[in-house]
Each structure stands twice: as C-alpha cells, then as structure tokens.
Amino acid sequence: MTTREITLKTEPFVLNVGPLHPSTHGVYRMRTTLDGEVVLDIEPVFGYLHRGIEKLMEERTFTGIIPLTDRLDYISPMSNNLAYCLAVEKLCGIKVPERAEYLRVIMAELQRLANHCIAVGSFLNDAGAYFTPFMYTFREREKIVDLFEMVSGQRMTYNYMRIGGVSQDIPEEFLPALAKLLDQLERFVDEYDFLLKENEILIARAKGVGILPKEVAINCGISGPVARASGIRRDLRRDDPYSIYDRFEFDIPVGENGDSYDRYRVRVAEMRQSLRIIRQAMKDIPAGPVKAEVPQVVRPPAGEVYAHIEAPKGELGFYIVSDGSIAPYRCHVRPTSLINLTALRQMVRGWKVADLIVIFGSIDITMGEVDR
C-alpha cells in the first residue's frame, strides 16, 4: 500500500492580532498575513495609546516635565527620569553632587532589576508557562517597589529625579533594607535560572526561534538586551559613560544566536550585573547634599542637546531645543521600544502564529514609549 501526497491549494488571509489589552504588552495591533498558521508578513499598527507627551512637554516648565517622563516606559520610570534630567543638566552645565550620583545609579539599577523581572516573567507566560513564573518574578519586583515607595512615596510613577540631583535623600532604614533585598534577589535569580534555563518546554518554544542576525540588528538601530543577544557588545554605561558608571566594574552579557532564548538568557545575566553594580555603589556612597543649587524655575540658555542612557530596554534618549524660556521649544524622545519593534517583521516571517507571540514577547516593549 502506497501513501499519496495531497497538495492543497490555499490562499493567504489576514488576521488581526490585537489590539491587545494594556495589561499585556500595551495597546498594539499586528495585521498579520498568514498561510494556514505560517506567518508571511505583519504590519504593525500603533497609535491606540497616543497621548502627545512630546507636545505636552513643550508647554511645561523644565522641572514640570519630569512627571510626564514617568508615563513613557511606565515599567521603568526611574530610568526615564534620569535620561531627561541628564539632558537638561547637559544643556545648563549643572554639576550633580556626588551622593546624588550614587543614589541615581542605585535607583537606575534597581529599576533594571524590576524591569527584567517583568520582562522574563511575562516572556515565560507568553511561552506557555501559565502564570507561575510570572508570579514568582512579580513577587520579587514588589520588593523593589517597596524600596522605591520608601524614597519617593510612589509605587509606579516615582517622580524622584530632579534637575541637579534627586528630590530627597534616602531614609535611614533604606540601605539596610536594600542590603537585605540584594541577598534575597541573588538567591532568587540563581533559583529562577536553575529551574528554567534547561526547561525542555522553554527550549522547544524559544531556542532557534525568531533569530535576529547581528547585521539586521545594527541596521535597524536595535539596542539593549535585544541587540546584545545578537552578539552586539554595546552598552552605553561603558561605551559612552554617563553619571558615574565609569567607576564600577561589570560585565556586558551577550548571546550567540540572537534567538528568543538568548534574549531571555541575556536579561537574566544582566540582573546579576545590576546586583554587582548596586553593591559597589552602596560600599562607596559618600555623605553630602543630594541636589545642586538649582533655581525652582529652570531657564537654560538657548541651544540644543541630546543625552542618552542605557535604559533596561536599550538606548533611551532625549533631544531638547531651548529658546531661553522656561519651557522647551522642542522636545523629542528616542524611544527604545519603538526602535526595537522595527525588526519584528524580519524576525517572525516563516514562523507559526504561536511562535509570533513568543518572539514578540522576547523583545520586551512598553507601548507608553512607542506611542508617547
């Protein structure tokens, strides 16, 4: 008895994936062209969350803009605060006190840890490990948020950084609580990594899936863990040091294959490096003021400036044009999530619909800074 192969003639069809609910990756729509379950092409559709933040910035005082930056990547508000304040300080020539610099580094690296907790937890959820890994990481993120609440009074939009430093010094109990948390997080990262790095389901769903070649990543301007997973050893904390990052020792984890699994592994490795940086900062933090003598109403000289940082998702930059008034003449954000999404089309072609969700989740985006 012989088996006959039957070839079915099919026609491509369009399937809308999304708009998704804000509690996933944000309000994002993929207009997907499929042949059966195989992805032939996608058309990203943005704009469902657009709030015109860049135009709102042009009608606020320079200090009054800081709360708006919290609403960009709302998973990493501390980093948004820092990037914006660095731009204004560069434009004004303001020198930040030493203690404030150390506090900024501690907050930025805690924010990286909190961001990566959400990134790896939600990625495992997208890969089919329903809820348990995500709740593990969310539990640890809440401990970091407790510290942010201790210094700022807020649990999501912190409004902690200020032009010239930070809004207030840390309370007496902060550093002991931080030291205790770092020990817990170190054990947690080791345990989480042990449980998942060789998990056969994760490997089957992510290894070799959604490969982003190094050349494509460079040409698309991809940055952060997504770029480093493709073998690009670039990190602004080392390649274009800002604040006092040049004083700390840390490694830059990179991947080999540029697949969804490598993007997950790089983020876990980066969490260990953040713990390492925070410990160094805690050891060397000096006493002293936490804010430079800056007028309540900042009026930078006329000119333009661009400042960027290595935010948890990649390069986050602010371009500001000043006409000498109390508000920017123009303000533009270089949003990490938007730029990193530009490679999604190349990454998903030829994969199945189920793989599309995994690949999308491995990029780690927040729609607040895509739509702005």
The whole-number pLDDT of residue 300 equals 95
**Banded pLDDT at 3 (limits 50, 70, 90):** low
- Decide: helix, strand or coil at residue 79: helix
- Percentage, residues of the chain above pLDDT 90: 80
Angle ∠(313,319,322) on CA atoms, nearest 5: 155
The whole-number pLDDT of residue 24 equals 58
49-69: average pLDDT: 92
- Percentage, residues of the chain above pLDDT 70: 96
The whole-number pLDDT of residue 237 equals 95
6/31: higher pLDDT: 31
246/1: higher pLDDT: 246
The residue ranges of DSSP E strands in 222-313, in sequence order, are 303-311
Indicate whether 2 pLDDT > 70. Answer: no
Residue 32: name the closest of 46, 18, 21, 22 by CA: 18
Q: In the chain, count of helices (H) and strands (E)?
A: 15, 8
The whole-number pLDDT of residue 363 equals 93
The whole-number pLDDT of residue 286 equals 95
Confirm whether pTM is higher than 0.85: yes
The span from the CA of 58 to the CA of 329, in Å, is 6
Any idea where the domains of the chain sit in the sequence?
A: 13-371
pLDDT digit string (tens) for 197-226? 888 889 999 999 999 999 999 999 999 999
132-156: average pLDDT: 93
Topology at the third CATH level for domain 13-371 = Cytochrome-c3 Hydrogenase; chain B (1.10.645)
pLDDT digit string (tens) for 261-285? 999 999 999 999 999 999 999 999 9
Average pLDDT value over all residues in the chain: 92
Distances (CA, A) of 314 to 22, 148, 267: 21, 22, 11
**Banded pLDDT at 368 (limits 50, 70, 90):** confident
Which helix (H) or strand (E) is 162 found in, with range? strand 161-162
161-185: average pLDDT: 95
